[in-house]
Structure 1
Amino acid sequence: MSRIFIFAFVLFATLFAVNAAPLEKRETSFPPCPDLPPDAVGLDVKMTPDPFAPGQEETFDIKGTLKNDIITGDLLGIAFINLAEKHPVGGPLIVDICSLPGVTCPIKAGTTFSTTQKYIAPGAEELPKSYAIVIAIEHGNPPDSVALACSAAIFGASEPPAVPADLDFWGFL
């Protein structure tokens, strides 16, 4: 009888401990975009809420130390990209970095750049099976633009290399 009591006590204690332990929250990772030019860097991106809520406002905290100066006309873009069709889902957010409040240009290479941007995520009905949230900084205008920084979070891809090799991550700007 005491063995059953001990077994039940251990079982309940284990279930209580497992149930009471907080689940580890997975933070969305924004690694550098594939095939970046040698002078381009990845960005440190945190989004809130995480995971994002379709159709709701997202806040992106973006930081990075670029290898090139940021000058007037350099653009920061945030977009959801359909990986299969290689185009933006909804309208991307595109801003001139030097027009942001509190930013004084030029920002010299090697100096940490930081900004917080708000963006409304596409609704759930607009999102394809596989997509990326791309944060990019570029100099110049297409087709003569140069990537300065790029990071992307991939969603719905079966394996990490499911990103098309010919996808131009900063071409949406």
Structure 2
Amino acid sequence: MNRIFILAFVLFATLFAVNAAPLELVKRETKFPPCPNAPPDVVGLDVKMTPDPFVPGKEETFDIKGTLKKDIVAGDLLGLGFIDLVAEAPIGDPLVVDICTLPGVTCPIKAGTAFSTTQQLTAPAASDLPKSYAIIIAMEHGTPPDVEALACSAAIFGADSDSSAVPDFWSFL
């Protein structure tokens, strides 16, 4: 009878020890879905950010890939920036570059051809980040006021991505 109690005690102790052990933490990768309210021909981009999550005030590396529905030609722009969703204004200086001047890019890039680039941007300091903001990566053709959106993806923080507070992303480039 004592052996049964000892065995039961050991089994319960083992069960409690296994349940009390910390679970493996799963790293949450920042998602960059297509921009809300984007025109129908605008595609989402596959964006990977390093480090993820970003470190305020430190340089971030963005690997950007996508296959566009329209040709990329000289003068088309790639924009990357942090946006305050309440003030509807950039936080710091966004990066805006001519896609065809990027190293390793040969223009024109025909529609349906894969495109990729790696860009770096310093994240704003923690004190500069509002409660709701977004990291936006967008590609566009033309110059204001005749701008045509090509691609857009955004990671939204502190706000519902379906919220009416999400601004028109094209006005930031």
Q: Report the TM-score, using the length of structure 1 for normalisation.
A: 0.92
Rounded Cα–Cα distance in structure 1 between residues aligned with 2:116 and 2:103 = 12
Report what 1:170 is aligned to.
170
Shift of residue 15, structure 1, vs aligned partner: 2.5
Count of residues paired in the alignment = 168
Report what 2:13 is aligned to.
8
> Is contact 1:63–1:113 with CA below 8 Å preserved after alignment?
yes
Report what 1:161 is aligned to.
162
Which of 116, 129, 133 is residue 135 of structure 2 equivalent to? Answer: 133
Rounded Cα–Cα distance in structure 2 between residues aligned with 1:5 and 1:113 = 59
> Is contact 2:35–2:154 with CA below 8 Å preserved after alignment?
yes
Which entry has the higher C-alpha Rg, 1 or 2?
A: 2
The alignment partner of 2:127 has SS state of coil
Pairs within 5 Å for 1:90-129 = 90-129=92-131
Shift of residue 38, structure 1, vs aligned partner: 2.0
The alignment partner of 2:49 has SS state of strand
For residues 58-82 of structure 1, give each alpha carbon's deviation from its aligned partner in whole angstroms, at most 9, with x where no partner exists: 0000001001100000000001010
Rounded Cα–Cα distance in structure 1 between residues aligned with 2:40 and 2:73 = 19
Report what 1:35 is aligned to.
37
Q: Which amino acid aligns with 2:171?
A: G
Shift of residue 163, structure 1, vs aligned partner: 4.8
Structure 1: stretches of 5+ with no match in the other structure: none
> Is contact 1:75–1:95 with CA below 8 Å preserved after alignment?
yes
Rounded Cα–Cα distance in structure 1 between residues aligned with 2:90 and 2:97 = 16
Distance 1:137 1:107, change over 3 A: same
Which of 23, 26, 30 is residue 25 of structure 2 equivalent to? Answer: 23
For residues 119-149 of structure 1, give each alpha carbon's deviation from its aligned partner in whole angstroms, at most 9, with x where no partner exists: 1011101110000000000001122111100
What is the root-mean-square deviation in Å for CA atoms of aligned residues?
1.3
Structure 2: stretches of 5+ with no match in the other structure: none
Rounded Cα–Cα distance in structure 2 between residues aligned with 1:89 and 1:51 = 17
Report what 1:55 is aligned to.
57
> Is contact 1:142–1:171 with CA below 8 Å preserved after alignment?
no
Q: Which amino acid aligns with 1:131?
A: Y
Rounded Cα–Cα distance in structure 1 between residues aligned with 2:41 and 2:19 = 53
**Stretch moving more, 43-52 or 32-41:** 32-41
**Stretch moving more, 7-16 or 37-46:** 7-16
Structure 1 residue runs of 4 or more that deviate by more than 6 Å after TM superposition: none
Q: Report the TM-score, using the length of structure 2 for normalisation.
A: 0.92
Report what 1:145 is aligned to.
147
